[in-house]
Amino acid sequence: MKSWMKVTGGAVLGLSLAAGIAVAENQGPRGGKMFDKLDTNGDGKITQEEVAAAREARFAKVDADGDGFVTQKEMTAHMMARHEERMKKMFDRQDADGDGKLAAGEFGGHGEKMFEMMDADGDGAVTKEEAKAAREKMRSHHGKGPHGPGAGE
**Is there a domain that residue 141 lies in?**
yes
Q: How many domains are there within the chain? A: 3
Same domain, 84 and 44: no
* pLDDT recorded at residue 12: 53
User: Residue 136 belongs to what domain range?
Assistant: 109-145
**Interval 48-76 mean pLDDT:** 94
- In a domain, residue 151? The reply is no
Pick from 7, 23, 17: nearest CA to 52:
17
Query: Which of 49, 70, 91 is the last residue in one of the domains?
Result: 70
Residue 151's pLDDT is: 44
Looking at residue 152, its pLDDT comes to: 43
C-alpha to C-alpha distances, 87 to 81, 83, 90, 112, nearest whole angstrom: 10, 6, 5, 19
- pLDDT tens profile 124-148: 899 999 989 988 888 887 655 444 4
What are 79-115's pLDDT values in tens digits? 999 999 999 998 998 888 899 998 887 887 666 778 8
CA angle in degrees (0–180, nearest 5) for 59-82-71: 40
> In this model, does residue 28 exceed pLDDT 80?
no
